Structure 1
């Protein structure tokens, strides 16, 4: 069930259905929840995914670039942070290396929903770009695949 939720959240976030908003467009409830969870956050930018009542904040906290997703009631749904490929757990690293030999890792996001951590790995070769979700047990799922325009 959580795999479906994360896939859906990812699809919404990368569908292009977002628009940037100012803090005045974010409800007081969401702002308070954000400030409680991420006190001291700087450079906060918000996106709203209206059709799904989902709000995405990007920000810097303790010199780390982070992402947070909230529902319309201000409940924190998920967080993400960029990590180095070398930081991947061994089974995840092995699965990515074996299953996607032709692609190079471009970036990795550690994605946390509730008490489950997974990794969103952006891979690329000369022809295509992939977003793959990988779990601690080494299982993977392609979230998005697109051709590279030359």
Structure 2
């Protein structure tokens, strides 16, 4: 179950949608319970523009601004933070990640980077654009890269 949830979160992060959008067509905006609001405030400081979504009332998606960063956080109904994702800039990638990407993919440039945190594990998904293709690489904080997806340009 955890692996399936993690894969759906990764897919959502890469497509720009939420986990709920990736798994169901009937997502609805919802009013968060006091427990969920408290969990959000306990997990994040100074959040604004918070919107809550769910499709099954088991997993709740909070989209909000934390400073200038757009963050998506996933909670269960009890208020446990399951995972987060946020788009980051190239400068926010760990030095080990950016160094390995530059060495392994010298003829590409970074189009997007997503930081995904789940269960004390941080994973980065970086979309690289080259002359003939797009490559999404997955990396841990130490710069261990693997190809997640490769697409040929039309």
TM-score after normalising by structure 1: 0.69
Is the deviation greater in 3-12 or in 55-64?
A: 3-12
Q: Which residue of 1 aligns with 2:98?
A: 93
Q: CA deviation at 1:89?
A: 2.2
Q: Which residue of 2 aligns with 1:45?
A: 51
Distance, in Å, in 1 between the alignment partners of 2:55 and 2:137 is 22
TM-score after normalising by structure 2: 0.68
Hey, which bits of structure 1, 4+ residues long, moved more than 6 A?
2-5
Structure 2 unpaired stretches of 5+? 16-20
Is the deviation greater in 87-96 or in 110-119?
A: 110-119
Distance, in Å, in 2 between the alignment partners of 1:129 and 1:49 is 32
1:23 aligns with 2:26: no
**Out of 22, 25, 33, which is 2:39 matched to?**
33
Q: What is the aligned residue count? A: 146
**Out of 50, 56, 59, which is 2:61 matched to?**
56
Distance, in Å, in 2 between the alignment partners of 1:88 and 1:140 is 13
Q: CA deviation at 1:144?
A: 3.8
Distance, in Å, in 2 between the alignment partners of 1:78 and 1:131 is 20
1:108 aligns with 2:90: no
